[in-house]
Each structure stands twice: as C-alpha cells, then as structure tokens.
Amino acid sequence: MSWSTDHSSSATAHSPGQVLKLISSGAVTTRADIARLTGLARSTVSQRVDALVAHGFVDEEADGPSTGGRPPRRLQLRTVSTRWPGWTSGLRTAGCR
C-alpha cells in the first residue's frame, strides 16, 4: 500500500497524515466522525484509515456504542506497543525477540 504523491492542496487537506492528526488529537474516534468532520466520502475515509492501520499507526476496536445499527469501530493511535518482525518496543521496555 502506498501513500499518494500528489501534493496539491486538495489532495493533502485530508491525507492519511491529516486523518492521523485528527485521531491522535481526539477530535474523531470513528470512521463516521472522520467523514462528518472532513466531508470525505465513506470510501475515501476507509482508504485513509485502512492505510493507517496497515502501516501500524492506528488500531481499531469494535467496542463503540451502537445507535441502532452496527456498532462503530473505535479508532485509537497505536502508542503503547509497536511491533516489527523480531523487534518489540513499549513504553517501559524495548527488546529483540
């Protein structure tokens, strides 16, 4: 999966990096929040979030409160533990496995 290389103002206004900033600031907690706040289409929001999850920046948990439909998946910045093949790091420890 690759990031967009188009750096025009419309392309970067809601780039994966900008979506990551919204998630990390706590301004949004679900994909629906992102769509409402940015005006992006649901498919575009899914592309941005899927890229962030695939690159290990964001985790999704299926524990959001339902408002009548499918429960939303909560988005959160992955900060406590990051894993790479053969390497694990956390807030208190780091080590090679």
Mean pLDDT for 9-36 is 84
Residue 54 lies in a domain: yes
% of the chain exceeding 70 in pLDDT: 65
Mean pLDDT, the chain, whole residue set: 76
Whole-model pTM above 0.75?
A: no
- CATH code of the domain in which 31 resides: 1.10.10.10
Q: What is the mean pLDDT of residues 2-16?
A: 53
Of 52, 56, 51, nearest in space to 79 by CA: 56
Biggest alpha carbon distance in the chain? 45
pLDDT tens per residue across span 62-91: 776 677 777 888 999 887 655 555 555 444
Q: In this structure, is residue 58 part of a structural domain?
A: yes
Number of separate domains in the chain = 1
Look up the domain containing 71 and give its range.
9-96
28-33-39 Cα angle (round to 5): 115
